[in-house]
A = this chain, B = another copy of it.
């Protein structure tokens, strides 16, 4: 379908002249941002006083980005296409910022950086300058949904952005450095999940400038045949644009983009009107151009253009007069006097290369997705309530119940097509299979008659790559939609670093006036540490919570609903929220249900509370507080309370359950934090607290260390003991089980410290457990069959 290379000229001489002028202007502004404090149009001879005292930024990728940008602008003008720009090498921000400034968007959003000489001075000065703008395509950058600081996620963001946006084309520049990362390498497969009817298109532009920081790149040093095979193997029709002569390259790039856009339209037309169902070979472009293109050929006698020495600032020590002269020559080589008028404004014949209004990539509404976001239509979650006649009276899979709610969320928003569920092949395994009553798994690759819920327009995105799931979802949210990512708890660590970047984006974006809030990134972490019955030690890690709480308090929330009704409440709450990362941890195995819906609402609204029905302190001061967070710790805590009630009936026990982990932090540290008075009222000022926690125990100390009664808090949790074993043995190995919890109480309540009899009874039970499971391979019947007593 794709004609490969043009030799004839697509562009008229006039147009190529104007486009080249735009490119020179963008390059000029890029160098200016990196180097200059003042004298922005070189109206006077350059002196050291005009140069920044610290030179920061990345030149190498920038001229290539500028080249791509102006060429996309030409196609947008000519075809009225709706294009969003993703700069994989986001450190090429001097270029991205320059283009958005030339388009006028920058000055519209930041009037201070005006379209005149003074504005140019500010534009230059602010870049990587204290109080100015950062060095990457950060939230401050118009038109950006992708910071590109950490490499690897440009293409998954791009694929996420075009889902359910049939008219949108994301032009995604993939740097050849980024292309070496794992997440990027697998994201080429995004084309197997893209529906040409209902989704838009991604045009990947693999930019081979040949070098990373100090090294060639792999893809630039394999043969062209191998690279073509690789891209064809990923299912694309590659178009090659290679060279360094601007005139020739302009014609080649124009032809390549015309071909690619025509191919995209042809594919979409075939699918949308002719009903073609074969998976298309989408076009992609391989652009091979020199690193630091148009920059100094050599610096201090060493190769610079077309080499890794152009990666950052090509030369820095400006106390050398020859460097100052080199900079001036370099900048004057773009002939600024031909580009900007006397007032410092881009000349209109050059400005006319760009599209106008929202067709400017810097103004594309999808890049400020919050402004497009419409709240989800949510059914009343209480309609999905599990009937709980008395605590522990029902056993079921909590995430299954959540799935029935999600099913109807999916249905209620089917028309607006703004909700999707993501996960690495685990939607059904995580018991969310009710979703498949109303939708399917997205799948554009080959299908067979016996396949199960695969469809071209499925709204459940499953690929065995947590990176891809996270990247898709981020791209989907950043363009104004909603979603949920369900994942095995241990393996969400695979995207720790992606979470970091997204949380940082949210924090900064909330400080940028013109950005509107986007929907929250919601995680359901299930198949959790305590129930990895099939998989064992490698699948046991509850540490994502620890990772998450290091980020800004405003951004993160962690919920540990102990049963289905609390999970419903939390799910509804998270789906309504914005600009957050919500982590929900809940089990998928059949488990006892504790709260009816009314109680669940009361409990979740507080986020933490006493369970009177499980307590024996009659509302007075207890002898001990049994606190718990997480479904399995809640079960063991209640069983411990039951055990204590039968062994030491006079003991006054208070059971406190935590749904919203952030309540434990001081109010000064987190908006959900309990006041000290409320905390003291729950946990007492001086009584022992035995806290059974889902994850690593020290997190509770880290959250609560400033609390009055902290020194009396004794926390049990996961301490990296585990294997493929029984559910109860898992809690015993980590001393989170009912017997160890009861023993902790005996050790810490002064009046019980002489109770040798109960101590021995507990020790005996642990011995019996160990003996029994080795003999039978299953848990002690009295543990398996234990139920919360209906009447205390």
Binding site for B on A (CB under 8 A): 37, 52-54, 56-58, 91, 128-136, 138, 147, 149-152, 177-178, 180-187, 189, 192, 212-218, 221-223, 226-235, 303, 307-308, 312, 425-429, 441, 443, 445-447, 450-452, 454, 462-468, 490-491, 493-494, 496-497, 500-501, 504, 507-508, 533-539, 541, 543, 546-547, 550-552, 696, 698-699, 701-702, 705, 710, 720, 723-726, 729, 773-774, 776-778
Given A426-B213, A446-B222, answer yes or no on A182-B150 (Cβ-Cβ < 8 Å). Answer: no
Given A149-B535, A720-B552, A773-B130, answer yes or no on A778-B54 (Cβ-Cβ < 8 Å). Answer: yes
Residue contact A218 to B233, C-beta cutoff 8 Å? no
Of A551, A724, A726, most B-chain CB atoms within 10 Å:
A724
Of A37, A54, A182, A508, most B-chain CB atoms within 10 Å:
A182
Q: List 19 A-B contacts (CB under 8 A).
A: A134-B537, A135-B724, A136-B538, A138-B538, A152-B182, A180-B463, A182-B183, A185-B186, A213-B428, A216-B445, A222-B445, A229-B233, A231-B233, A493-B500, A504-B537, A507-B720, A508-B537, A698-B705, A699-B702
- Give the distance in Å from the alpha carbon of A53 to the alpha carbon of B234 in the complex: 45
- Shortest Cβ distance from A488 into B: residue: B150
Residue contact B777 to A37, C-beta cutoff 8 Å? yes
- Shortest Cβ distance from A441 into B: residue: B215
Residue contact A138 to B536, C-beta cutoff 8 Å? yes
| Residues of B close to A218: CB separation below 8 A | 189, 192, 445, 463
- Shortest Cβ distance from A471 into B: residue: B182
| Residues of B close to A701: CB separation below 8 A | 701-702, 705
| Residues of B close to A217: CB separation below 8 A | 464
| Residues of B close to A186: CB separation below 8 A | 180-182, 184-186
Q: How far is the CB of A218 from chain B (nearest CB, A)?
A: 5
Given A226-B233, A537-B138, answer yes or no on A307-B450 (Cβ-Cβ < 8 Å). Answer: yes
- Give the distance in Å from the alpha carbon of A539 to the alpha carbon of B58 in the complex: 14
Q: How far is the CB of A237 from chain B (nearest CB, A)?
A: 12
Q: How far is the CB of A1 from chain B (nearest CB, A)?
A: 15
- Give the distance in Å from the alpha carbon of A468 to the alpha carbon of B53 in the complex: 38
Residue contact B235 to A232, C-beta cutoff 8 Å? no
Residue contact B534 to A135, C-beta cutoff 8 Å? yes
- Shortest Cβ distance from A133 into B: residue: B724
Residue contact A536 to B136, C-beta cutoff 8 Å? yes
Choice from B465, B551, B710 contacting A181 with Cβ under 8 Å: B465
Choice from B213, B235, B454, B467 contacting A226 with Cβ under 8 Å: B235
Residue contact A720 to B464, C-beta cutoff 8 Å? no
Choice from B130, B452, B468, B493 contacting A214 with Cβ under 8 Å: B452
Of A130, A133, A215, most B-chain CB atoms within 10 Å:
A130
Residue contact B547 to A543, C-beta cutoff 8 Å? yes
Residue contact A222 to B497, C-beta cutoff 8 Å? no
Given A231-B233, A778-B53, answer yes or no on A535-B135 (Cβ-Cβ < 8 Å). Answer: yes
Given A128-B724, A497-B493, A541-B500, answer yes or no on A233-B230 (Cβ-Cβ < 8 Å). Answer: yes
Residue contact B494 to A497, C-beta cutoff 8 Å? yes
- Give the distance in Å from the alpha carbon of A677 to the alpha carbon of B493 in the complex: 38
Residue contact A429 to B150, C-beta cutoff 8 Å? no
Residue contact B541 to A214, C-beta cutoff 8 Å? no
- Shortest Cβ distance from A429 into B: residue: B213
| Residues of B close to A533: CB separation below 8 A | 54, 56
- Give the distance in Å from the alpha carbon of A367 to the alpha carbon of B182 in the complex: 26
Q: How far is the CB of A557 from chain B (nearest CB, A)?
A: 16
- Give the distance in Å from the alpha carbon of A56 to the alpha carbon of B427 in the complex: 20
Q: How far is the CB of A512 from chain B (nearest CB, A)?
A: 12
Residue contact B180 to A182, C-beta cutoff 8 Å? no
Residue contact B54 to A538, C-beta cutoff 8 Å? no
Query: What are the 7 tightest A-B residue pairs by CB atom distance, in nearest-first order?
Result: A149-B538, A230-B233, A182-B182, A229-B233, A221-B445, A185-B185, A185-B186
Residue contact B312 to A534, C-beta cutoff 8 Å? yes
| Residues of B close to A232: CB separation below 8 A | 226, 229-230, 233
Of A134, A181, A490, A493, most B-chain CB atoms within 10 Å:
A181
| Residues of B close to A547: CB separation below 8 A | 496, 543, 546-547
| Residues of B close to A52: CB separation below 8 A | 777
- Give the distance in Å from the alpha carbon of A707 to the alpha carbon of B383 in the complex: 50
Q: How far is the CB of A311 from chain B (nearest CB, A)?
A: 9
Residue contact B149 to A539, C-beta cutoff 8 Å? yes
Q: A490-B500, A550-B720 are in contact. List 13 more A-B contacts (CB 8 A).
A: A128-B534, A133-B724, A135-B535, A180-B468, A185-B185, A214-B452, A215-B425, A229-B232, A229-B233, A493-B500, A504-B720, A507-B720, A550-B696
Choice from B133, B189, B534 contacting A58 with Cβ under 8 Å: B534
Residue contact B496 to A724, C-beta cutoff 8 Å? no
Choice from B53, B538, B726 contacting A150 with Cβ under 8 Å: B538
- Shortest Cβ distance from A555 into B: residue: B720
Q: How far is the CB of A235 from chain B (nearest CB, A)?
A: 6
Residue contact A131 to B428, C-beta cutoff 8 Å? no
| Residues of B close to A723: CB separation below 8 A | 134
- Give the distance in Å from the alpha carbon of A58 to the alpha carbon of B536 in the complex: 13
Q: How far is the CB of A268 from chain B (nearest CB, A)?
A: 21
- Shortest Cβ distance from A552 into B: residue: B720
- Give the distance in Å from the alpha carbon of A149 to the alpha carbon of B534 in the complex: 11
| Residues of B close to A135: CB separation below 8 A | 534-536, 724
- Give the distance in Å from the alpha carbon of A253 to the alpha carbon of B178 in the complex: 37
- Shortest Cβ distance from A463 into B: residue: B180
Q: How far is the CB of A549 from chain B (nearest CB, A)?
A: 8
- Give the distance in Å from the alpha carbon of A429 to the alpha carbon of B212 in the complex: 11
Residue contact B774 to A131, C-beta cutoff 8 Å? yes
Given A216-B454, A720-B507, answer yes or no on A134-B536 (Cβ-Cβ < 8 Å). Answer: yes
Given A186-B185, A496-B497, answer yes or no on A131-B212 (Cβ-Cβ < 8 Å). Answer: no
Choice from B130, B213, B724, B729 contacting A425 with Cβ under 8 Å: B213
| Residues of B close to A538: CB separation below 8 A | 136, 138, 147, 149-150, 501, 504
